[in-house]
């Protein structure tokens, strides 16, 4: 077993957590005792018992036709050729799904959102679905992108070992989200001035790894971000949130890694002391040589580009128009350059429409494929802050935040 795999990390981080070096106030005393027992059992080699799970509608509910998705266990990755000819937003039928366990079946009529904790002035406060929908609504575009999007290229392009789902570039989508601002809900719940963190928690089954149950999927974020632009979304692209994307309500955290966007939201702890969960301490940190032993926390996404063609693509000799999209959590894309000759020469792509903050830049470039053979296409974006996609992404063992230029293989075929 590699000393750098996730299970080993779990063990180390859990030990630190049990030693009081990392704090998870979201765990009940009962759960804490269970966790302690589970950790002991794991050490003696016994398997942990799975926690009672809510009724699951299935790992993923929507159809996953092979022309739209690659499957990775409980997750479905969008194939980038499925965006060719599409509009600005990613349609729901091809939006990637990242499920730690399975999509739960939740009844909006009995669902409630509970807010509780030392960051509130009084007792826990809860909202029904109807109450939330009656509050003032906000609509905006936002990208959801898994922190591990592009992880596969650490291995296939950079020859490095990483653990986790080997996504290519399809763990990303842009949608139009409508909902109520978290700030509205927090203020109505009686937010105290000294509140520092909030921790949204999902209603899907508890999740664990390496024989340890880590509880419900949850991740804390600072009150400043929560009040700034976080949305509790109940609509996606003009429709009620689909089951796989968090029905009835999910969190949207613009610019931040996908794990922040908790689906099937059930509870939000509001705290006047810092909150952590394993999704802050064990996962979604940069570990490895060059990083501190406790890892470097991550929140914001990076910059990437993708061609809307199959991986790998086969094209006939002749004239083509290459299309694709580039996106950055720093804001709009300023420039996209394309190379069709392995990076020797670069041409500027034509923009299609504007580049919105929170979304992506669509682009195109004509390409005359003259000679049959093997090619690599490269797209390299620069964002509004002047950040350009590098040749190499700095390695981290969990394979997060890949931002390097991707060499996309294409075979140009002789006429039949």
Ligand X SMILES: Nc1nc2c(c(=O)[nH]1)N[C@H]1C(S)=C(S)[C@@H](COP(=O)(O)O)O[C@H]1N2
- Residues in contact with Mo ion by the rule CB under 5 A: 98, 146, 258-259
Least distance in angstroms from the C-beta of 110 to Mo ion:
28
> Binder to ligand X among 79, 100, 181, 378 (CB under 6 A)?
100
- Residue recorded with tokens 């931002």: 403
Work out the number of other CB atoms within 10 angstroms of the CB of residue 254.
Answer: 22
Dmax over Cα atoms in the chain, in whole Å?
A: 75
Residue 327 near ligand X by CB under 6 A: no
Least distance in angstroms from the C-beta of 147 to ligand X:
7
Stretch that binds ligand X, among 43-51, 119-127, 258-266, 347-355 (CB under 6 A): 258-266
Stretch that binds ligand X, among 63-71, 111-119, 253-261, 289-297 (CB under 6 A): 253-261
Pick what 144 binds: ligand X, Mo ion, none; C-beta below 5 to 8 Å, kind-dependent.
Answer: ligand X
Among residues 150 and 334, whose Cβ is nearest to ligand X?
150
Among residues 146 and 162, whose Cβ is nearest to Mo ion?
146
Residue 245 near ligand X by CB under 6 A: yes
Dist CA 332 CA 153 (whole Å) = 24
Binding-residue pattern over the window 56 to 95 for ligand X, x denoting contact by CB under 6 A = ---------------------------------------x
Residue 252 near ligand X by CB under 6 A: no
- Residue recorded with tokens 């570039």: 169
> Binder to ligand X among 69, 129, 264, 375 (CB under 6 A)?
264
Least distance in angstroms from the C-beta of 76 to ligand X:
8
Residue 243 near ligand X by CB under 6 A: no
> Binder to ligand X among 142, 249, 259, 398 (CB under 6 A)?
259
> Binder to ligand X among 168, 225, 263, 356 (CB under 6 A)?
263
Least distance in angstroms from the C-beta of 64 to ligand X:
12
Among residues 229 and 337, whose Cβ is nearest to ligand X?
229
- Residue recorded with tokens 């080993």: 8
Least distance in angstroms from the C-beta of 226 to ligand X:
16
Give residues in contact with ligand X (CB under 6 A): 95-100, 144, 146, 202, 204, 217, 245, 258-259, 261-264
């Amino acid at each position: 077993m590699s000393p750098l795999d996730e299970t080993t990390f779990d063990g180390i981080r859990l030990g630190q957590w049990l030693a009081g070096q990392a704090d998870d106030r979201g765990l009940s005393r009962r759960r804490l005792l269970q966790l302690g027992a589970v950790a002991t059992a794991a050490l003696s080699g016994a398997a942990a018992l799975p926690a009672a799970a809510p009724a699951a509608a299935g790992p993923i509910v929507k159809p996953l036709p092979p022309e739209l998705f690659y499957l990775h266990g409980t997750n479905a990755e969008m194939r980038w050729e499925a965006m060719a000819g599409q509009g600005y937003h990613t349609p729901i039928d091809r939006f990637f799904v990242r499920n730690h366990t399975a999509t739960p079946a939740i009844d909006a009529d009995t669902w409630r959102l509970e807010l509780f904790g030392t960051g509130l002035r009084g007792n826990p406060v809860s909202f029904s679905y109807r109450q939330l929908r009656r509050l003032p609504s906000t609509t905006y575009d936002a990208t959801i992108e898994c922190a591990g999007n592009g992880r596969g290229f650490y291995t296939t392009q950079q020859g490095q070992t990483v653990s986790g789902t080997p996504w290519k570039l399809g763990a990303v989508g842009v949608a139009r989200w409508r909902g109520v601002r978290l700030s509205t809900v927090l203020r109505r719940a009686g937010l105290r001035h000294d509140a520092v963190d909030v921790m949204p928690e999902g209603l899907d089954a508890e999740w664990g790894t390496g024989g340890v149950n880590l509880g419900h999927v949850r991740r804390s974020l600072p009150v400043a971000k929560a009040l700034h632009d976080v949305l509790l979304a109940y609509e996606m692209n003009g429709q009620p949130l689909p089951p796989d994307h968090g029905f009835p309500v999910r969190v949207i955290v613009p610019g931040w890694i996908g794990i922040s966007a908790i689906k099937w939201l059930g509870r939000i702890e509001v705290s006047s002391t810092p909150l952590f969960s394993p999704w802050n301490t064990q996962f979604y940190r940069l570990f490895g040589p060059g990083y501190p032993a406790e890892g470097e926390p991550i929140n914001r996404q990076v910059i990437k580009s993708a061609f809307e063609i199959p991986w790998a693509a086969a094209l006939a000799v002749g004239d083509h128009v290459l299309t694709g999209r580039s996106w950055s959590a720093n804001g709009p894309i300023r420039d996209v350059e394309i190379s069709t000759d392995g990076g020797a020469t670069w041409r500027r792509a034509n923009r299609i429409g504007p580049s919105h903050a929170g979304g992506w830049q669509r682009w195109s470039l004509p390409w005359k494929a003259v000679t049959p053979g093997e090619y690599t296409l490269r797209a390299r974006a620069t964002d509004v802050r002047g950040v350009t996609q590098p040749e190499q992404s700095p390695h981290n063992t969990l394979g997060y935040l890949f931002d390097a230029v991707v060499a996309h293989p294409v075979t140009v075929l002789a006429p039949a």
